[in-house]
Amino acid sequence: AQSVTQLDSHVSVSEGTPVLLRCNYSSSYSPSLFWYVQHPNKGLQLLLKYTSAATLVKGINGFEAEFKKSETSFHLTKPSAHMSDAAEYFCVVSGYSSASKIIFGSGTRLSIRP
Amino acid sequence: ETGVTQTPRHLVMGMTNKKSLKCEQHLGHNAMYWYKQSAKKPLELMFVYSLEERVENNSVPSRFSPECPNSSHLFLHLHTLQPEDSALYLCASSQEIAANTGELFFGEGSRLTVL
C-alpha cells in the first residue's frame, strides 16, 4: 500500500529565507514522487517530479526536492522565499497505472512574511 | 487558451436543482479525471476516463453523473445535491492513465456551493 504524509499543515517563513516543506511516503516498491503547487483560486500545477533518475530533482521557480530512500522522504526546498511562493503545496506518490494509486498528501500552506 | 478549461468557475445551486460542470482539455491527452477538493481534506478522486471510457468510479454517490463524449470534453452532471457536496471540483487530464508518471494537468476548478 502507498501513503504520503505532509508533516506540516502550515509553514510560515520570512521573505528571502529558506523554505522547507516536509513529505514522507510509504510504498512497497519504487515510487514516483511529485510536488504540486496550488495558488488561491487556481488549479494544481506540477512543480517537479522524481521517477527513479537523479535523486536531486530541480523544478520550476527555484524549487528542488531530494529523494531519500533510507528516510522515505521527499522534502521540498527553496533557498530564498519570494512573496509569490505563498500557496498550498501537495506531495504526491504514484506507482501503478491505476489513477486511484496516485495519492495526494493533505497539503502544506506556505505563508511568506514581508 | 490554457491547457484545461473548466466552466463555470463558480456555481450556486439549491438541493433540487440540476446543473452541469464542463471541462475541456486542449492538450491532446487521452485520459481525464474529476477530483473533489474539500477544505481540510486530501484530494478525492471521483472518476477517471480513458479514451471516453470510464475506467474508475470511486464510490461516488449517484447524484454525481459523469459524461465523456470525446477525449477532449468531460462533464459532471449534478442533481439533488447535499450541502456537504459544496467543494472545489477539479478536472485534470494526462497523456495516458498516468501510467507510472502521475503527471496530471489541472484546470482552475469549479467552486460549487449547495444551499
- Band of pLDDT at residue B97, cut at 50, 70 and 90: confident
- Using alpha carbons, select from A23, A35, A45 the residue that is nearest to residue B2: A45
CB A72 within 8 A of CB A13: no
Residue of A nearest to B5 (CA): A43
- Band of pLDDT at residue B96, cut at 50, 70 and 90: confident
Q: Is the dihedral of CA A80, A9, A94, B24 positive or negative?
A: negative
User: B66 CB near a chain A CB, below 8 Å?
Assistant: no
> For residues B95 and B32, what is the distance between their CA atoms, to the nearest angstrom?
9
Q: A100: part of which helix (H) or strand (E)?
A: none
Identify the residue with better confidence: B22 or B17. B22
A100 chain-B contacts, CB cut-off 8 A = 45, 48, 56, 58
User: Strand B31-37 and strand B87-94: pairing?
Assistant: antiparallel
Asked if residue B99 has pLDDT above 60, the reply is no
The reported pLDDT for the residue numbered A99 is 54
Residue of A nearest to B48 (CA): A99
B31 chain-A contacts, CB cut-off 8 A = 99
